[in-house]
Amino acid sequence: MLFHEIYGSYYHAAAAILKEAVRGKLTGRELQSLVLEHAFGESLMTIPDGLKGERWRLMHKDLSTPLENEPSMPLTTLEKRWMKALLMDPRIRLFDPDMTGLEDVEPLFTPDMTVYYDRYSDGDDYRDPGYVAHFRTILQALRENRDLYISFESLKHAQPKLVLTPYYLEYSEKDDRFRLVAADRKRRWTVNLSRINECAFAYENRNARLKAAETETVVFELEDRRNALERVLLHFSHLEKETMRLDERRYRVTLKYDRHDTPEMVIRILSFGSAIRVAEPESFIGLIKERIEKQKRLAAFSQDITE
């Protein structure tokens, strides 16, 4: 759990807070700031209470600590070997990770030891220099909010040349391919990176208004039974969200998502059943009702056929 990419964040947040407490410089405001910097927004409901409430026996209520030395979290040899193994994956190497300190570490396993099932064998060539260059150009454009000039071969063998606003990169495990999701002023595009012939920065800056127009918000109330809060937050961990506690068991969650993913969002929210009640907008509530009515009709139709 210490080395987990998600749960490990809680340990790093606690370590950063305790370092400041050992130095005698910790304030309530800084405690909250460190939680947001190292963990997640909803962690404000657990980490401060766990530390200040003396439940973890690491800090007193006055924000002092019985620790004499600052906590450190050095990597074990096993963790280094596991990290080296992951960084040898050609997909991860596309992101140009820093391997400093792992030069003499033997990997726990190598990519050729992994056997994939139910996956196409003609995936992207992640070692191709041109592919790597295009991937990193797109990655830089996403980080710097820049538009791209892209030429690619379509399925109909046309070669459109476009200036696109990149939204995100997505990976298909079944196809073993990366795709760029982007848009111009007329439509949304999904482009396989292996089909890109040219990729460069455009002179135009990212059109923020276009991206904002593609964003929708849904607000729902959540009753935390059977660990529903944790399941919801993990399920929607990739989305921008805000969580507000209403009482001991109820929470109000605001999610922002891509407008094109609305049908999928309806299905995903319905999968949590009565634990979630959508509060707004009315248009989304209408879609929820339509989906439920459709399911009722299908269930009745199936029953008629059976009888």
Cα 31 from chain centre: 24
CB 67 within 8 Å of CB 14: no
Q: Per CATH, the architecture of 214-306 is what?
A: 2-Layer Sandwich (3.30)
Instruction: State the pTM of this model.
Output: 0.50
CA dist 59 and 54 (Å) reads 6
CA dist 219 and 135 (Å) reads 35
Cα 212 from chain centre: 19
The mean pLDDT of 220-230, rounded to a whole number, is 87
Cα 211 from chain centre: 18
Domain parsing of the chain, residue ranges? 77-113, 129-206, 214-306
CB 231 within 8 Å of CB 255: no
Tokens of 134: 């295009």
pLDDT band at 233 (very low <50, low <70, confident <90, very high): confident
pLDDT band at 26 (very low <50, low <70, confident <90, very high): confident
CB 214 within 8 Å of CB 168: no
Nearest Cα residue to 275 out of 235, 218, 241, 226: 226
CB 48 within 8 Å of CB 17: no
Q: What is the pLDDT of residues 240-252, one digit of tens each?
A: 888 888 888 899 9
Q: Per CATH, the architecture of 129-206 is what?
A: Roll (2.30)
CB 182 within 8 Å of CB 189: yes
Query: What mean pLDDT is reported for the chain?
Result: 84
The torsion angles phi and psi of 7, rounded to 5 degrees, stand at: -70, -25
Position 179, amino acid:
R
The mean pLDDT of 75-84, rounded to a whole number, is 88
Report the relative pairing of strands 146-152 and 240-245 from DSSP bridges: unpaired
The mean pLDDT of 36-58, rounded to a whole number, is 78
Tokens of 96: 């140009």
Q: What is the DSSP string of 181-208?
A: EEE-SS-EEEEEGGGEEEEEEEEEEP-H
Nearest Cα residue to 218 out of 262, 168, 264, 271: 262
Tokens 């396993």 correspond to 109
CA dist 14 and 134 (Å) reads 39
Give residue 190's region: left, alpha or beta (phi > 0; psi -120 to 50). beta
pLDDT band at 205 (very low <50, low <70, confident <90, very high): very low
pLDDT band at 304 (very low <50, low <70, confident <90, very high): low
CB 250 within 8 Å of CB 217: no
The mean pLDDT of 26-51, rounded to a whole number, is 82
Query: Per 3-state DSSP, what percentage of the chain is helix, strand, and coil (rounded to 5)?
Result: 40, 25, 35
Nearest Cα residue to 195 out of 182, 178, 212, 208: 178
CA dist 120 and 173 (Å) reads 9
CA dist 107 and 41 (Å) reads 34
Using the predicted structure, report yes or no on whether residue 8 has a pLDDT greater than 60: yes
Using the predicted structure, report yes or no on whether residue 209 has a pLDDT greater than 50: no
